[in-house]
Amino acid sequence: MTALLASVTTPEEALLAVQANVDLIDLKDPGQGALGALPLEQIRHIVEVLEGHTVSATIGDLPLQPEIIGTAVKTISECGIDYIKIGFFPGGDADGVLAALQPLAKRFFLIAVLFADYMIALPLIDALASTGFKGVMLDTARKEKGSLTKIRDKVFLQRFLLRAKSQGLLTGLAGSLQLEDIPRLLPLGPDYLGFRGALCETGKRTQCLDSKRLATIRAAIPVAATRKISNY
């Protein structure tokens, strides 16, 4: 069953997500990029407010450099996060990053984020699984380009999900998703559908969450049991 991921930026938004029965609460700062990271103190505070709810957080829009990525993962892990999301942006040293993350993947629940609006080599999914990643999401980096479903067709999305599932990875689809995207994507069977902009006032991802919009999206996705897997 597909679960609902909602990205939040404040404790108040996090509590709205809890009230709406969101399956996975994702901590992110949309004003800082596609995977903009919140300040560490803010992350810690939200984790405390949520009192045991399953939480993911991004490490930020960082270059694929082993030392930078490794340090960011270690730092954010100290905030009590369940899922650590790492963006694989174009360029950099992807192989070096995977090598650096292999020992950390034994300790933390790492989720890779690939970007549909850049070229994606699907064999990277196999490398992620071999490294010890527990999941992979397909998102968009350039939000102005529109929804994921406008950037990639159904055939590509099916190939992405099948490749990831064949490696035993949790899967997620995100990227400016709208209400009308839900019936198109649910039959593909991703583990998560991720939303931010569609949940916000006037549909802008940098604005505050709107409880009515959140309730509408929640009602369109059958409620799933929260998937919390131990980091150890």
Whole-prediction pTM value? 0.92
Q: What is the pLDDT along the chain (232 residues), one digit of tens a residue?
A: 899 999 999 999 999 999 999 999 999 999 999 999 999 999 999 999 998 899 999 999 999 999 999 999 999 999 999 999 999 999 899 999 999 999 999 999 999 999 999 988 899 999 999 999 999 999 999 887 889 999 999 999 999 999 999 999 999 999 999 999 999 999 999 999 999 999 998 888 889 999 999 999 999 998 864 444 433 3
Q: Establish whether 74 is a catalytic residue.
A: no
Catalytic pick among 28, 143, 150, 228: 28
Q: Establish whether 228 is a catalytic residue.
A: no
Catalytic pick among 85, 106, 212, 228: 85
The residue assigned the tokens 């020992």 is 103
The whole-angstrom separation of Cα 10 and Cα 43 is: 9
Backbone phi and psi for residue 36, each to the nearest 5 degrees, phi listed first: -55, 135
CB 6 within 8 A of CB 25: yes
The whole-angstrom separation of Cα 212 and Cα 71 is: 39
Crossing angle of helices 66-77 and 40-50, rounded to 10°: 40
The residue assigned the tokens 């300790």 is 107
User: Domains (ranges, CATH) in the chain?
Assistant: 3-220 (3.20.20.380)
